Amino acid sequence: MKKSPVFFLLVFAVFLLSFTPFHFSTQDSLYILKMDASSKEERTAITSLGVAIEEVKPNYIVGIAHEDSLQKLTAHSFKFEAKPLKQFLLDFPVKDADFHNYSEMEAELKSFAEKYPHIAELSSIGESIQQRKLYIMRLSGPTPSSTPKPAIIFMGLHHAREHLSAEVPYFLIKHLLENYGKDEKITQLMDEREIWVLPMVNPDGAEYDIESGVYKFWRKNVRSEGADRMYGVDLNRNYGYRWGQEGASDNPRAETYRGPHAFSEPETQAVKRFVESHPNITILLSYHTYSELILYPWGHTYHDIEDPQDFGVHKTLATEVGRITGYKPQQASDLYITSGDTTDWSYGTHGIYSFTIELYPGSMWEGGFYPSAAKIQKVVHDNIPAALYLIDTADHPRKVLPNLN
Ligand SMILES: [Zn+2]
């Protein structure tokens, strides 16, 4: 068949499209960088240029950024060392098969709900962009209560590459279910509280990160324009309290892209609806990796929480959780400013005592986002007692203030 000029134009258009900057989903332009930054103000400027800062050391940071963020850093006279991410890409090793992918997580949660119907109830708070259910488990003893029981919510995996952040909530569910009726304290806590656990806020991103058999270091969700134009939104910059300020990027290519408006993504909308419809939630915990930190609001400002009692509760709970886990407690903005994160919203809008735990390891050199599966049980073991402490506190968090007892 003779090819028409239109055919050749089409071929040419496809050829051009394959080189457009909209091919964000390839990680070809992603770099790992190390740069001097000793003050939170410098780190805020860096993160506002689209760098996802993953490690804060006394004199330097390690971060991940796209090439155009590096150009912006240079334009702002920042000095840095950058290596193409390709040099760091890890095969999905056989030994990591202990991590749960989405379908394994779904199957496990369903089997828990079947095995423990009197204390475990599985539901979905909504669907991701690719229509995966956002599963949440309600754990509570069958004891009747005339008023809603005090509630706490644990969430994992806002960021795709942070696979360990889904394992801790998963094993928390397992631990609570297997010990109900056996361990006196756990039985009491489950009878007196309503415990909600949402292990994967960003299942599409997590699946995308592992689907090729090589970890992609993907952070965001899978928001796209058209079939090939995937860029992703940073879900932990998409919440609606002081959204769009410093510490997030308006560039869709950037690692910290905040989305076109607050709650633009179905995943954050689902969390919003759920929290709004459960006013009995007093404490929220969002697991991330990595750095071994306990972070509390504010993220959007260097100022402390204005209410001295709320500030005291956050600081006291973070300190105690830090003591239990061995992680370092601090105000989120002591690292750098972030706007649109989960905890500023849940505290700022709903008055919920809110924490981000950056799990093991402490640094990139101990595995960063991809520690060996052999570490899962250690991290779970370090974090379950802290979760139990927060569940215990959720009836009246202000009870931890010394002058209120
Ligand atoms: Zn994260």
pLDDT in tens, the chain (405 residues): 443 443 333 333 333 333 333 444 456 788 999 999 989 999 999 999 999 999 999 889 999 999 999 999 999 999 999 988 877 777 766 667 789 999 999 999 999 999 999 999 999 999 999 999 999 999 999 988 888 999 999 999 999 999 999 999 999 999 999 999 999 999 999 999 999 999 999 999 999 999 888 889 999 999 998 777 889 999 999 999 999 999 999 999 999 999 999 999 999 999 999 999 999 999 999 999 999 999 999 999 999 999 999 999 999 999 999 999 999 999 999 999 999 999 999 999 999 999 999 999 998 878 888 988 889 999 999 999 999 999 999 999 999 998 754
Instruction: Specify the residue for token string 């509570």.
Output: 140
54 falls within a domain: yes
Instruction: Specify the residue for token string 């250690």.
Output: 378
Secondary element (H or E) of residue 5: helix 5-17
Going from the Cα of 64 to the center of ligand 1, the distance in angstroms, rounded, reads 12
pLDDT of residue 117: 97
Residue at which a domain ends, from 56, 88, 120: 88
Angle (deg, nearest 10), helices 376-393 and 184-192:
50
Around ion ligand 1, residues with a beta carbon closer than 5 Å are: 159, 162, 288
Please give the model's pTM, rounded to 2 decimal places. Answer: 0.90
177 falls within a domain: yes
Residue at which a domain ends, from 46, 64, 88: 88
Shared domain check, 55 and 196? no
11 falls within a domain: no
Q: Are 299 and 332 in contact (CB under 8 A)?
A: yes
pLDDT of residue 140: 98
Going from the Cα of 370 to the center of ligand 1, the distance in angstroms, rounded, reads 13
Number of domains in the chain: 2
Shared domain check, 186 and 48? no
Going from the Cα of 229 to the center of ligand 1, the distance in angstroms, rounded, reads 23
Strands 293-296 and 353-359: antiparallel
Going from the Cα of 211 to the center of ligand 1, the distance in angstroms, rounded, reads 20
Q: Are 137 and 122 in contact (CB under 8 A)?
A: yes
Determine the Cα–Cα distance for residues 277 and 126; give it in Å rounded to an integer.
Answer: 13
**Residue 154: which domain range?**
94-404
CATH number, residue 61: 3.30.70.340
Shared domain check, 80 and 161? no
Going from the Cα of 289 to the center of ligand 1, the distance in angstroms, rounded, reads 6
Q: Are 235 and 221 in contact (CB under 8 A)?
A: yes
Going from the Cα of 368 to the center of ligand 1, the distance in angstroms, rounded, reads 11
1 falls within a domain: no
Going from the Cα of 3 to the center of ligand 1, the distance in angstroms, rounded, reads 51
- Give the number of C-alpha atoms closer than 13 A to the C-alpha of residue 336, restricted to the C-beta side: 28
C-alpha distances out from residue 395 to 193, 247, 305, 323, 392, Å: 7, 33, 21, 21, 7
Shared domain check, 272 and 344? yes
Cis, peptide link before residue 290, omega less than 30° from 0: yes
Return the closest-CA partner of residue 239 out of 194, 272, 217, 211: 272
What are the catalytic residues?
358
6 falls within a domain: no
Q: Are 162 and 290 in contact (CB under 8 A)?
A: yes
Give 143's DSSP letter.
Answer: -
pLDDT of residue 87: 77
83 falls within a domain: yes
350 falls within a domain: yes
Give 244's DSSP letter.
Answer: T
Going from the Cα of 375 to the center of ligand 1, the distance in angstroms, rounded, reads 18
Strands 293-296 and 328-331: parallel
Residue at which a domain ends, from 88, 114, 132: 88
Shared domain check, 225 and 80? no
299 falls within a domain: yes
Which residue type occupies 201?
V
Shared domain check, 153 and 59? no
Shared domain check, 242 and 345? yes
Shared domain check, 123 and 41? no
Shared domain check, 398 and 290? yes
Shared domain check, 341 and 318? yes
CATH number, residue 146: 3.40.630.10
Shared domain check, 112 and 52? no
Shared domain check, 130 and 60? no
